[in-house]
């Protein structure tokens, strides 16, 4: 609800700005997005970015991972596994994938060590991790910030 008023205030300030939001804000944001796979990361975290300057989105491959049913909160996936296999025994399946080094894109899950490592935010709690903008997104967008608007 505050995206447009915020954007208007930033525009009046006359400085470069970037507004970030989740996929659910697409109708309001009308802009580009980034995903972890665009940076060789093993997680799906689509985030929208609206800026008052031109930025180019990197190529995005088709998602081939399984997003398990029943693990969503407010329409956002909370457990993303990088495999095309279907689980037979969920616990054994999860353990085998963690042991094989697959990163799990976890939100409010208690064991988020793999997702922290993959996002390069080892210091975050699980709750913070679920809301975080991956640093690789910020680093990427920063290269497009103009010196003057």
What tens digit of pLDDT does each residue of 63-102 get?
766 555 544 444 444 445 454 444 444 455 556 555 555 5
Would you state the pLDDT for residue 6? 92
The reported pTM is 0.72
Would you state the pLDDT for residue 111? 59
Does residue 143 have a pLDDT over 90? yes
Would you state the pLDDT for residue 92? 58
The string of pLDDT tens digits covering residues 24-39 is: 787 777 789 998 889 9
Does residue 109 have a pLDDT over 70? no
Nearest to 82 by CA among 71, 74, 94, 70: 94
**DSSP letter, residue 103:** -
Give yes or no for a contact between 144 and 55, defined as CB atoms under 8 angstroms apart: yes
Percent of the chain with pLDDT over 90: 32
Would you state the pLDDT for residue 23? 78
CA–CA distance, 20 with 87 (Å, rounded to integer) = 34
């Amino acid at each position: 609800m505050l995206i447009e008023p915020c954007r208007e205030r930033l525009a009046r300030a006359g400085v470069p700005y970037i507004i970030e939001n989740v996929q659910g804000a697409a109708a309001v944001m009308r802009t580009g997005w980034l995903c972890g796979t665009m940076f060789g990361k093993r997680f799906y975290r689509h985030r929208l970015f609206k800026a008052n300057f031109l930025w180019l989105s990197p190529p995005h491959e088709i998602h081939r991972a399984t997003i398990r049913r029943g693990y969503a909160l407010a329409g956002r996936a909370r457990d993303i596994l990088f495999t095309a296999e279907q689980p037979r025994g969920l616990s054994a399946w999860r353990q085998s994938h963690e042991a094989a080094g697959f990163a799990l894109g976890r939100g409010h899950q208690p064991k988020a060590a793999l997702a922290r490592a993959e996002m390069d935010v080892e210091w975050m709690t699980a709750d913070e991790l679920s809301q975080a903008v991956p640093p690789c997104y910020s680093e990427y967008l920063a290269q497009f910030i103009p010196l003057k608007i």
